[in-house]
Amino acid sequence: MTTHFITFRDLTVSQYYHIFERASFLKKERRSGQYRLDHLKGRAVGVFFNKHSTRTRVSFECAINELGGQPIIMNLNDSQFSRGEPLSHSARVLSGYLAALVIRTYEESQLTELAKWGSIPVINALTDDRHPCQVLTDIFTLYERLGSKKLSDQLICWIGDGNNMANTWVEAAAVLGFGLNLACPEGYEPKAEILKRAYQENPKIKLTRSPLEAAEGATAVNTDVFTSMGQESEKEKRLKDFKDFQVDSNVMAKAAPGAIFMHCLPAHPGEEATNEVIESEASVVFEEAENRLHVQKALLEFIIPKLI
Ligand code: CP
Ligand code: NVA
pLDDT for 95 equals: 98
Q: Is residue 2 domain-resident?
A: no
Where in the sequence is the domain holding 29, given as residue range(s)?
A: 8-130+292-303
To the query of whether residue 104 is one of the catalytic residues in this protein, the response is yes
- Which ligand number lies closest to the CA of residue 290? 1
Q: Is residue 308 domain-resident?
A: no
Residues 274 and 150 in one domain: yes
CA distance 232 to 176: 33
Residues 89 and 150 in one domain: no
Q: Find out whether the peptide bond into 266 is cis, omega within 30 degrees of 0.
A: yes
Residues 124 and 144 in one domain: no
Residues 153 and 280 in one domain: yes
For 156-165, how does the pLDDT look when each residue is reduced to its tens digit (9 = 90+)?
999 999 999 9
Q: Is residue 106 domain-resident?
A: yes
Ligand 2 and 165: CB distance under 6 A:
yes
CATH number at residue 92: 3.40.50.1370
Residue nearest to ligand 1 atom 1, measured at CA: 264
For 227-236, how does the pLDDT look when each residue is reduced to its tens digit (9 = 90+)?
999 999 999 9
What is the edge-to-edge ordering of all strands in the sheet holding 155-159? 205-208, 179-183, 155-159, 220-223, 260-263
Residues 162 and 93 in one domain: no
pLDDT for 117 equals: 98
Q: Is residue 53 domain-resident?
A: yes
Residues 154 and 272 in one domain: yes
pLDDT for 134 equals: 98
Ligand 1 and 56: CB distance under 6 A:
yes
pLDDT for 151 equals: 96
To the query of whether residue 161 is one of the catalytic residues in this protein, the response is no
Ligand 1 and 55: CB distance under 6 A:
yes
pLDDT for 290 equals: 98
Residues 79 and 166 in one domain: no
Task: Pick the catalytic residue from 134, 154, 246, 296.
Answer: 134
Give the residue ranges of the chain where pLDDT is below 50: none
Q: Is residue 3 domain-resident?
A: no
Residues 24 and 164 in one domain: no
To the query of whether residue 43 is one of the catalytic residues in this protein, the response is no
Look at residue 11 and give its three-state secondary structure.
Answer: coil
Residue nearest to ligand 1 atom 7, measured at CA: 54
Question: Residue 105: CA atoms inside 13 Å, Cβ hemisphere, count?
Answer: 21
Task: Pick the catalytic residue from 157, 264, 294, 296.
Answer: 264
Q: Is residue 245 domain-resident?
A: yes
Ligand 2 and 163: CB distance under 6 A:
yes
Residues 40 and 160 in one domain: no
Alpha carbon distance, N-terminus to C-terminus of the chain: 17
Q: Is residue 35 domain-resident?
A: yes
pLDDT for 78 equals: 86
To the query of whether residue 131 is one of the catalytic residues in this protein, the response is yes
